[in-house]
Amino acid sequence: MDSDASGWLWLVIDVLMVAGLGVALLYGSMLWRRRRRSRALEKVSERATAQLYEREAERERKAEADRVGW
């Protein structure tokens, strides 16, 4: 019984798995592009982003003031 499974394993790992990953990436990209976003959701997202930037800027100002020793 001299069987060589390395050829099949190479096919499964290097060809079929990579092809499956490619198909999954394409499918995910298509779903991501087709997603719908409402105006309200867009406004909430923009507001949250602005708040995060402002919070970080305030934290940096405080850290700078503490460092300088005001």
DSSP letter string, 2-66: ----HHHHHIIIIIIHHHHHHHHHHHHHHHHHH----HHHHHHHHHHHHHHHHHHHHHHHHHHHH
More confident residue, 3 or 48: 48
More confident residue, 24 or 31: 24
Q: How many residues does the chain have?
A: 70
pLDDT at 18 over 90: yes
Tell which phi-psi region holds residue 69, choosing left (phi > 0), alpha (psi between -120 and 50) or beta. left
More confident residue, 25 or 6: 25
Global pTM reads 0.47
